[in-house]
Chain A
């Protein structure tokens, strides 16, 4: 393999930003690597793979998603150990990628430990391996390039920060350009050899340009004024740490070198900022930071400025652009003072609110800690050890008791060095009990989100339901990415109704949500009771399930089978609290006279409590569930 004729770099139509960033990363490894994000089918990986043609001295070492740790970082050389009884280090992908380009496609799907391990090694310039009796260190200097489709999941800011540059790819919208793309793809597929030959000269020019730029790099001086400018950019972008400045200067220097200049222009810096800053920008009024042990994810904030041409002045990075956010101002928070107190009389009517799709970025993120209990299931949100013989083989350990899932490679490696000295009998290899290793497998398990929604008349007042639906909608979007399951219970009039039993189909959940009418009284206690029943059944069906209850109500409980509706609600809440099921309460009460029932309910359930208004103000809200680890 490997002699396949790749689509020529020079033949890719458009995508000027990605091409430039790739050349910068290739010419100057000090620019800190590159992350390319974009929708599927936008030539991301075609370009990265084609990069090998631009610098014939460099290899593009690809790291497949199925790579195990020993393959990435290196391990004991099995053959040497078996035949000569010597412990020799067998280099992994990191060693092969030394002074080359390491490419990870779908980097957001790579296992977190592998990714952080790689970033760590690249950052320190050293890969230190301590495993299987091998202790080895070797130098790592490489250019890391990752591509990802943000729809499939995001990377944490800490990981994003490690990448020097970031580019977002978009598809071409011009009919002529698109037709041109089609023409070239067809030509390439019909006759790859001929097609590649057509671009031979252009490719050669590119090779030459990069070689010269590389030689020119060292001659480009950076004067103090430029350093000043770099610092200014970074302060304006509110970027954390000092990595950004260094990358900024290196990228600017490379841009100048590629432009065949031996001095820096402010325009170089501006262009550099376009690549270096977008993924580092922090919002000034960021919500209270989450606890340090829970890395947060900010999916929408990573897109780079879209309009690069208008950035004439030093502060180029416009605020993070999310199409929706840019187009529509966030809905104003309900202005209480101007409106009459809530009509509690709307209870007889029934209406159906729209989903507020522009619900201003209340990204509810539930960050769940990794737990130690073995579970089974499938999903993306939570990492969990699995005792099925399924899931990714992460690493091998000494068996904790009886061996159930033999890690053969590790066992063999453990036994190998002693083969020359051990009596073997009739077997080809002598394995002692002490050599046995067990596989540790890991799977991502989706959680079950049970939404319990107040659909009473009071919720219908003043677009409140629209906001609630908007909030649930954003949560559901996250749920979808993480492959969680959802259920939906609504309570109104006299009863609670399971509108949607727990399902994988987020589509169904959305349909239910869209048609959910409001009207009638608020039987909060009934809502909680039926939630409890559903949760108990879930546990019975599958003790490994991991439900999370999300209650959305204004707390105006006024209907109950008997007795005080509020007291009934609180006692139901306590029962849920005792199950230890993590929960979140979103309080939609926004009236003059606050009854704060929802807050009390939250306390009884031991939930995290939010007000809907807060959610609409904060860009990102992290709901951290530590309860699960207990």
Chain B
């Protein structure tokens, strides 16, 4: 355990946020999480902590995108060439990292651009990877995503949806894998986020500060203990941390085996129709989140509770929301459907 990172299991409360992050690292295909809430609610602490919690993963050693040697369909050009030339891929284990996308980032920094040094020295065009390249297989963390420049959001969206970043600019033409867990935070009082981008987030949670006095005291206590001696503090949570890390790994292995029965599929489809959400991404995310929840619970079968819990994380930000209508999830309607599945 490196020093300096607050242990994930030591975070008080914020259960929804923690769960959403755990689900995303179990199943990166979920599409990330949008965390809405005020400042100082442990958002970035939690994101850093979850990355730290995970055991190292295999990656091609000299690959700028840390390709996964086990995933033949998601290799970058160079790694793919090496595989088809029957060359072995040298591997190393790397920790999952949190890559931050600053709000002031320019488009060329985000997608990558021409490597100027290389162009001068060798008279060749070469691609200089940007933030999206670093983000491959990592967590891409965008604080205050609602303040991000519009066209940066557009390219981010594009890459997040495709899992690939395609660059056609300044003389370079390149594409590389960009599969990342997108974690965005926003303070809703500071402006909207476009519905198109909202929909690309798999899950969303709203965080608020703890209100009960004793919980607040607990937050302060732990923080002070951590600041006093982070090593000792980390030691206290070591068992919990290892356990959680293990159960995440177990869930990853179990995930492909989890089954869902037809009745629940119909229920999810019906839910989306009743709630009038756009497109099909909502259904797909609810089911995927439910599968992941079942895997996390160590089950091979989805239960209605999984779907219900998944709906709470996957639907609120997808409620059809014309510019000035509030997108409110009528939870009682959801409850009713579970009580009486049509």
- Interface, chain A (partner B; CB < 8 A): 1-5, 39-43, 45, 62-68, 70-72, 75, 78-79, 82-83, 90, 93, 105-106, 109, 149, 151-152, 171-173, 175-176, 178-179, 181-183, 185-186, 189-190, 192, 378-380, 389-393, 408-409, 412-413, 416, 419, 427-429, 443-444, 473, 476-477, 480-481, 483, 503-507, 509-511
Interface residues of B in 275-294 (CB under 8 A from A): 278-284, 287-288, 291
The proximity string for B residues 82-108 relative to A, scoring 1 for CB distances below 8 Å and 0 otherwise, is 000000000000000000000010111
Nearest-Cβ distance from residue B151 to partner chain A, whole angstroms: 6
> Which of the residues A64, A183, A473, A477 comes within 8 Å of B168, measured between beta carbons?
A64
Which of B18-26, B52-60, B192-200, B228-236 is the contact stretch? B192-200
Q: Which residues of B contact A66 (CB under 8 A)?
A: 107, 111, 151, 155, 167-169
Closest to A70 in B: B171
Tell me if B73 and A3 are in contact (CB < 8 A).
Answer: yes
Closest to B322 in A: A477
Q: Which residues of A contact B176 (CB under 8 A)?
A: 1
Task: Report the bound CA distance from A152 to B200 in whole Å.
Answer: 14
Contacts A66-B111, A175-B270, A179-B269 given; indicate if A186 touches B278 (C-beta within 8 A): no
> Which of the residues B169, B190, B324 comes within 8 Å of A476, measured between beta carbons?
B324
> Which of the residues A63, A171, A175, A408 comes within 8 Å of B279, measured between beta carbons?
A171
Which of B4-12, B117-125, B238-246 is the contact stretch? B117-125
Tell me if A65 and B171 are in contact (CB < 8 A).
Answer: no
The proximity string for B residues 289-303 relative to A, scoring 1 for CB distances below 8 Å and 0 otherwise, is 001000000000000
Q: Which residues of A contact B108 (CB under 8 A)?
A: 393
8 contacts between A and B (CB under 8 A): A1-B164, A45-B161, A67-B169, A70-B170, A70-B171, A78-B124, A413-B171, A504-B192
Nearest-Cβ distance from residue A326 to partner chain B, whole angstroms: 17
B80 at the interface (CB under 8 A from A): yes
Tell me if A389 and B272 are in contact (CB < 8 A).
Answer: no
Tell me if B256 and A190 are in contact (CB < 8 A).
Answer: yes
Contacts A3-B73, A62-B166, A171-B279 given; indicate if A40 touches B199 (C-beta within 8 A): yes
Tell me if B158 and A1 are in contact (CB < 8 A).
Answer: no
Tell me if A149 and B269 are in contact (CB < 8 A).
Answer: no
Tell me if A506 and B324 are in contact (CB < 8 A).
Answer: yes
Interface residues of B in 126-179 (CB under 8 A from A): 149-151, 154-155, 157-158, 161, 164, 166-171, 173, 175-177
Contacts A66-B107, A71-B171 given; indicate if A178 touches B273 (C-beta within 8 A): yes
Q: Which residues of A contact B116 (CB under 8 A)?
A: 408
Tell me if B120 and A429 are in contact (CB < 8 A).
Answer: yes
Tell me if B158 and A105 are in contact (CB < 8 A).
Answer: yes
Which of B209-217, B258-266, B328-336 is the contact stretch? B258-266
Q: Which residues of A contact B195 (CB under 8 A)?
A: 40, 151
Closest to B177 in A: A1
Nearest-Cβ distance from residue B260 to partner chain A, whole angstroms: 7
Q: Which residues of A contact B73 (CB under 8 A)?
A: 3-5, 192
B191 at the interface (CB under 8 A from A): yes
Tell me if B192 and A78 are in contact (CB < 8 A).
Answer: no
Closest to A169 in B: B279
Closest to A477 in B: B323
Q: Which residues of B contact A178 (CB under 8 A)?
A: 269, 272-273, 280, 283
- Going nearest first, the 5 A-B pairs with the smallest beta carbon separation are A41-B279, A82-B123, A510-B324, A178-B269, A41-B281
Tell me if B120 and A428 are in contact (CB < 8 A).
Answer: yes
Contacts A416-B123, A506-B324 given; indicate if A65 touches B154 (C-beta within 8 A): yes
Tell me if B158 and A106 are in contact (CB < 8 A).
Answer: yes
Q: Which residues of A contact B200 (CB under 8 A)?
A: 40
Q: Which residues of B contact A483 (CB under 8 A)?
A: 150
> Which of the residues B119, B272, B280, B288 comes within 8 Å of A43, measured between beta carbons?
B280
Tell me if A72 and B168 are in contact (CB < 8 A).
Answer: yes
Closest to A416 in B: B123
Closest to B124 in A: A79
> Which of the residues A42, A378, A480, A507 comes within 8 Å of B149, measured between beta carbons?
A378
Tell me if B175 and A75 are in contact (CB < 8 A).
Answer: no
B268 at the interface (CB under 8 A from A): yes
Q: A391-B151, A393-B170 are in contact. List 7 more A-B contacts (CB 8 A).
A: A1-B177, A62-B166, A182-B265, A182-B269, A378-B149, A444-B151, A503-B191
Task: Report the bound CA distance from A511 to B199 in whole Å.
Answer: 24
Tell me if B269 and A40 are in contact (CB < 8 A).
Answer: no
Closest to A485 in B: B191
Task: Report the bound CA distance from A503 to B158 in whole Å.
Answer: 28
B13 at the interface (CB under 8 A from A): no
> Which of the residues A5, A173, A409, A473 comes within 8 Å of B324, measured between beta carbons?
A473
Task: Report the bound CA distance from A513 to B153 in whole Å.
Answer: 29
Task: Report the bound CA distance from A359 to B161 in whole Å.
Answer: 36
Tell me if B279 and A183 are in contact (CB < 8 A).
Answer: no
> Which of the residues A93, A151, A181 comes within 8 Å of B283, measured between beta carbons?
A181
B340 at the interface (CB under 8 A from A): no
Task: Report the bound CA distance from A206 to B270 in whole Å.
Answer: 32
Tell me if A183 and B150 are in contact (CB < 8 A).
Answer: no
Tell me if A42 and B280 are in contact (CB < 8 A).
Answer: yes
Nearest-Cβ distance from residue B255 to partner chain A, whole angstroms: 9
Task: Report the bound CA distance from A427 to B104 in whole Å.
Answer: 33
Q: Which residues of A contact B151 (CB under 8 A)?
A: 65-66, 109, 391-392, 443-444
Q: Which residues of A contact B288 (CB under 8 A)?
A: 186, 189
> Which of the residues B158, B194, B284 comes within 8 Å of A182, measured between beta carbons?
B284
Tell me if A476 and B164 are in contact (CB < 8 A).
Answer: no
Q: Which residues of B contact A175 (CB under 8 A)?
A: 266, 269-270, 273
Tell me if A78 and B106 are in contact (CB < 8 A).
Answer: no
Tell me if A510 and B323 are in contact (CB < 8 A).
Answer: yes
Nearest-Cβ distance from residue B341 to partner chain A, whole angstroms: 11
Task: Report the bound CA distance from A42 to B282 in whole Å.
Answer: 11
Nearest-Cβ distance from residue B31 to partner chain A, whole angstroms: 11
Nearest-Cβ distance from residue B288 to partner chain A, whole angstroms: 8
B29 at the interface (CB under 8 A from A): yes
Task: Report the bound CA distance from A408 to B158 in whole Å.
Answer: 26
Of residues A171, A390, A419, which shows the largest number of chain B Cβ atoms within 10 Å of its Cβ? A171
Tell me if B192 and A389 are in contact (CB < 8 A).
Answer: no
Task: Report the bound CA distance from A178 to B154 in whole Å.
Answer: 28
> Which of the residues B125, B190, B262 comes within 8 Å of A79, measured between beta carbons?
B125
Contacts A64-B167, A183-B265 given; indicate if A40 touches B121 (C-beta within 8 A): no
Closest to A152 in B: B196
